[in-house]
Structures are given as structure tokens and as C-alpha cells.
Chain A
Amino acid sequence: MKRLVITEYEGFNVPSDYNLDLTKTNIKDCTGCWSCWIKTPGRCIHKDLDTFYKAYLNADKVIIFSRISQGFVSGNLKSLFDRMLPLYLPFITYKTGESMHVPRYAKYPEVEVYYQGEFMNRNDQKIYEDYIHRTFYQFHNKCEVVKPIAEFTMEKI
């Protein structure tokens, strides 16, 4: 089983086939140019994520150690999400009853998210968790685990 790990905080050394260390990497921001849809389909104008894309699509499971920032995903992780756009087509399907982008690839890895940080209250925590579930639902990834880091064990993954 191939595992890809995205890390935003120190302290968890999970063996992986590919590790994207966001504590040391600033993801280039999406420029909104749509090149990945209408000029060079599937390819971003930025090249910093090319090896990541390949490893991501090749992985069976992706584990994201997300750092809560101002009650949400960090700007850096959000920019990584924005940069997933090349993995989808511009065309929209309505077969689930709502707009969804059509997948470009046949398969996307399963995703688990373990987050670290404080929320103001339970409602805030739910907003974050709902957002993560929503994103990966629309990304066509299976994503059942979105949990605080305290619930992480090596055995579970």
C-alpha cells in the first residue's frame, strides 16, 4: 500500500512513500488563470507540485496532519487545495443533483485528516470538519476520518 503524508506540524514520523512537509514548503498560490483547464489541460503554470501530483495519484492513502489556523485550514494548506484544480475537468456534472466537477483521473486516494489546534467552541470545530468532508466529497476521495490528533495511532492507519 502506497502512503503519502502531508505534514503541517512536527512530531509525527509516519513512514511514507512521499512526504510533503508544509512546515518547510510554501505552496505557490493558485493564480486563477485556468491554464490547467483551457490552455495546458491537467498542468499548472507552476511546476512546484509536479512530483507531488504524481505521487498523490499513485497513493492508496493520504494522511494530512493539518494545523488549525484561525479556526480553519491554514492559508498554505488552502493554497495546496486550490492547486488540486488541475486534477479535475472544467466540465460540470449534475448527476448527484448539484454541480460537481468531472474527475480528470480514474481514481483518487483515500484521505485521512488529523488536526492540531484550538477551536473557540464545538460549532467552530464542526465548521472545519464539515469543510474538509465537503472538499474531499467533491474531490471524489473517500474521506471518513477527520479527527483531532489525540485520536491518532499508528495502528489505525
Chain B
Amino acid sequence: MKTLIINGSPKAKNGNTEIFIQEFMKGMKSPCEVRYAARESSQQIAEELKQFDTLIVAMPLYIHAMPGIVMKIFELMEPASDEGKSMGFIVQSGFIESGQSKYLEQYLSSLTERLNYTYLGTVIKGGSAGVYMIPENMNKKLFNQLQNLGGHFELESSFHPDVVKKLASPQMLSKRKARLFQLFYKVGLGDSIFWRMLLKKNQAWGKKFDRPFADKRG
């Protein structure tokens, strides 16, 4: 089985998607080839992926679906002429609920069928915007899960359902949690802390609500 991992992040090697891929491959005995959607033309990637039996497309959730650069690769893919090809996906999002990625997941499943590949599933992990900047010990659980996922994938060519389930939690927010998070937002706690820190670091805190393209209605 020859597997290609496509990193679909516009940030290529500098983003959370790359960290996910590296941890996934740490669980493997021999790593896969990785190509970067942001560093090559969509034509080139769509052509070269034909040589692989298995594809894993890893990407951040952008506006409720795949980044534009990933769709540009999908657009160029042709249905596989021979049987036995398979495709799976890893999606990480800033939004905490994995349910936010369900619109994308539905499309990925249908796309795989359209392309005559076998669907290996979609691994979804929410709340990942800060993975690249938080201390390693805070990521330990996530990294272990990704390594387990990679190790299992190398042996079985599938995503381990138990790990997938754990990563996908929470699927939705309970009413209680949503109320609590809303309270945090109101008083500038929770994930607002993260944004305040980044805005201040860039001397942009005072401009955070700027409306540079507003018309008379605001």
C-alpha cells in the first residue's frame, strides 16, 4: 500500500495541520510521502496523486468546508480507473465542536464515491486553533491520540474508530457549556484571552473592531 498525505493547509509547514500530520506519522514505522497544496500547483498534485493507492487529505476547516486551494485539487481529480483505491481525511478546526465540520464530512464522503475511491472516513478534531502555540504538555493527549491513529493506520489501512470517536468529542456543546462559554466571552475570558494576546502582541488591540470597508450604515 502506497500512501500519500496531502497537507491542504494554506500555511503548509507552519500550521496546525502540519503538526497533526507529523504526530500521525510518528506512530508509523515508515512515514509516508507528504505533499503541500500551498507549495505546488493544483495541477501537479492532482496528476501525481494518481500513483498512490491511498490518499489522506489533512486540512483546516475554512468557512465550513475545505480551504479553496484544496477544492482546486479536488476539481481536477478524475475517477480512479482501477478498483482498490482509497481516500481518508483529517480535519482540524478552530471551532470547538466537531459537528461544525459535518457539512464538509458529508461532501468528502460523496466526493470519494464520485471519484471511485473507497471512503476511509474523516477524522475531525475541534478546538485546534491554538495547537501550534500552547506548551507541549497541553497537547500531550492529542498527540498520543494522533500517534495511535497513525500506528493503527499503517497496519490496518483504516482510522481506529475508538480514537476517531474520542477526537470528535464534543460533537456539540451542551446548553450548560454554551451558556458558560458565552459568559466567558462577555467578560473577556475563554478563547477571547488567546485573541487579546495575539492582538496586543501586534499592537492592534485598539483597532480590533475597525470597519475599514463600512458604508454609512456601518
Chain A residues within CB distance 8 Å of chain B: 27, 29-34, 37-43, 50, 53-54, 56-58, 69-76, 78-82, 84-85, 87, 89-95, 97-99, 104-107, 120, 123-124, 127-128, 130-131, 134-135, 138
Contact = CB atoms under 8 A, between A and B. Distances in A.
Contact of A32 (B10, B110, B198): B10
Interface string B86-128: 0000000001110110010011001101100000000000000
B211 A124 contact: no
Q: Which 6 pairs, one residue from A and one from B, show the smallest C-beta to C-beta distance?
A: A79-B68, A75-B72, A75-B71, A106-B218, A32-B10, A53-B213
Contacts, number: 180
Given A97-B178, A120-B113, A127-B107, 9 more contacts: A34-B198, A43-B212, A57-B214, A78-B71, A81-B63, A93-B182, A95-B178, A127-B106, A138-B64
Contact of B67 (A41, A72, A82): A82
A131 B185 CA distance: 27
A106 B191 CA distance: 23
A104 B207 CA distance: 12
**Interface SS of chain A:** mixed
Contacts of A80: 68
Interface in B139-186: 172-173, 175, 178-179, 181-182, 185
24 contacts: A30-B10, A32-B60, A32-B67, A38-B199, A42-B210, A72-B74, A73-B71, A75-B70, A78-B65, A78-B67, A81-B62, A82-B67, A91-B185, A93-B182, A94-B173, A94-B179, A95-B178, A98-B178, A99-B96, A105-B211, A120-B110, A124-B110, A124-B114, A135-B63
B3 interface: no
B77 interface: yes
Nearest to A59: B215
